[in-house]
Amino acid sequence: MKERLEQIKNCALQAIESASSMDELNEVKVRYLGKKGELSQLLKGMKNVAPEERPKVGQMVNDARQLIEAGFDKEKELIFKKIREEKMKREVIDVTLPGTKVNVGHRHPNQIAQEDLERVFIGMGYEVVEGPEVEYDRYNFELLNIPADHPAKDEQDTFYITKDILLRTQTSSVQARIMETGRMPIRVVSPGRVFRSDEVDATHSPSFHQFEGLVVDKNITFADLKGTLQQWAQEFFGPETKVKFRPHHFPFTEPSAEVDVSCFKCGGKGCRMCKGSGWIEILGCGMVHPKVLADCGIDPEEYSGFAFGIGLERVTMLKYEIDDMRLLYENDARFLKQF
Ligand code: DAH
C-alpha cells in the first residue's frame, strides 16, 4: 500500500506539473483527489491493513493529499500568471494611434458632427476640455471683457440662478477658466451646451451647442489663426474648401473676424445651400484681447493667442442639409434613425 501511495503521489505531481490550462489542472485534481479518485480508491483498501497500522497509513495518505494540494495551488498560480502575461501582451495600447470611440446603434447628428470636429483638432494636437453649463458671470462675461453694462449682455440674455450665477451663453467661458489656471502653452477645444433667451424657430433655440477653440503661447499671430482654420476647413469640408475672413467685433478678441467657407455643395458657384452667394458663414474668431489675457493673469507682453467659436448645430445642419433646427431636439425616432 505504501508503494502504491508513493506511486500515486509521484504521478499526481507529474500530471499537475504538465497541466497547461486550468481545465487540465482541474481534471488532474478530480482524477487524484476526487471522491472517486485514486486516493479515495486507495483508502478503500484500508480494510486489508492491520488495525494497528491504520492510523499510520491514514496519516501518510493525508500527507500525500496535502502535498498534492500544495502542488495544485502552486500550479494554479503559475497558470494564472501565464494567462495574465499573455493578456498583457495582447492588450498593449499604442498611444500613437488616434483615439477611437465605438458606437452601437444610431448617433445623434450633433454628436457625429462634434466628434468629427474633435477628431480634426485632436489631430492638430489640441486637447478637448469641458466646462460647467451653470457658470459664474465672471467667466461667462466679466473676464471676457463684457462688464455689467455692456450691450453684448442684452444679446446674450439668459437664465440667472442668482445675480452672479447663470446658464452660460457661450463656451468662451471655458477660455477664461483655462487661462486662469496659468498652465502654458494652451491648445484646447471645448464643446458644450449653451443657453440664451431665444424664441424657438427654424434657426433658433434657447439651448444649443458651441465648439470653442483657444491657443495661447509665445509668438502666436493672426497667421497661425488663419492657417489653423484653413486647415480645419479643408479637413472638415473637403480639400477644395476656401476660407474668407471678414472683419467683425467680439468684445474678447482684437482684431476679430467672422469666417466664411466656400460652399461645399456648389463649390462656390452659388446654390440654395449658400443662398446664391457661394459662401457659408461658419464661425467667429480673433486674437485674444490683451485685456482678457491680463485679467486672466497672463502677461500680454509675453504671450498672445487666438480663439474661435463654431456653432455646432450650424455645422450639423449644413453637413446633413437639415433645414429646421427643431428636428435636432424633438427626438423623433423617424428622424434620428437616419443617422
Ligand atoms: N462666443 C461667441 C458667440 O457666442 C463666438 C466666438 C467668437 C467665440 C469669437 C470665440 C471668438 O472664441 O474668438 O457669439
Confidence check: pLDDT of 322 > 70? yes
Task: Give, using CA atoms, the residue closest to atom 7 of ligand 1.
Answer: 284
* 114 pLDDT above the threshold of 90: yes
Q: Which helix (H) or strand (E) holds 250?
A: strand 243-250
Mean pLDDT computed over every residue of the chain: 92
d(CA 211, CA 117): 8
| Between residues 261 and 39, the one the model is more confident about | 261
Q: What is the 3-state secondary structure (H, E, C) of 251-313?
A: CCEEEEEEEEEECCCCCCCCCCCCCCCCEEEEEEEEEECHHHHHHCCCCCCCCEEEEEEEEHH
pLDDT at 61 over 90: no
Residues 6 or more apart from 281 whose CB is under 8 A from it? 258, 259, 260
pTM above 0.75, yes or no: no
What pLDDT shows up at residue 103?
60
Assigned fold of 109-336: BirA Bifunctional Protein; domain 2 (3.30.930)
Asked if residue 100 has pLDDT above 80, the reply is no
Mean pLDDT along residues 115-143 = 97
d(CA 156, CA 197): 7
Q: How far is the CA of 197 from the centre of ligand 1 (A)?
A: 17
Specify the pLDDT at position 104. Answer: 64
Handedness of CA 255, 260, 261, 262 (dihedral sign): negative
**Opening angle at CA 256, ends 268 and 185, nearest 5:** 110
Cell of residue 89, nine digits: 501582451
Instruction: Kindly give the distance from the C-alpha atom of residue 320 to the centroid of ligand 1, in angstroms, as a whole number.
Output: 23
pLDDT of residue 99: 66
Cβ–ligand 1 contact at 309 (below 6 Å): yes
Check residue 313 and give its pLDDT: 96
Predicted pLDDT of residue 163: 95
**Lookup: cell for 234:** 479643408
Adjacent-strand bridge partners of 261:
243, 280
pLDDT over 70 percentage in the chain: 98
Band of the pLDDT at 64, cuts 50, 70, 90?
confident
CB distance 286 to ligand 1 below 6 Å = yes
Residue 266 alpha carbon to ligand 1 centre in Å: 27
pLDDT at 90 over 90: no
Domain edges within the chain: 2-90, 109-336
Place of cell 477611437: 100
What is the DSSP track for 19-45? --SHHHHHHHHHHHHSTTSHHHHHHHG
From the CB of 307, is ligand 1 less than 6 Å away? yes
Ligand 1 centre from 253 Cα, in Å?
9
Q: Is 172 in the pocket of ligand 1 (CB under 6 A)?
A: yes
Counting every residue written for the chain, the total comes to 339
Q: Give the residue carrying C-alpha cell 437639415.
A: 322
Angle at the Cα of 330 from the Cα atoms of 329 and 334, rounded to 5 degrees: 120
Instruction: Write out pLDDT tens, residues 191-235.
Output: 999 999 999 999 899 999 999 999 999 999 999 999 999 999 999
In the predicted model, is pLDDT for residue 141 greater than 70? yes
Pocket test residue of 250, 306, 310 for ligand 1, highest count of atoms within 8 A of CB:
250
At residue 115, what are phi and psi to the nearest 5 degrees? -65, -35
Reported as a single tens digit per residue, the pLDDT across 2-54 is: 888 888 889 988 989 888 888 888 888 889 988 888 888 888 888 888 888 88
User: Mean pLDDT throughout 297-311?
Assistant: 98
Is the per-residue pLDDT at 247 higher than 90? yes
pLDDT band with cut points at 50, 70 and 90 for residue 166: very high
For residue 303, pLDDT beyond 80: yes
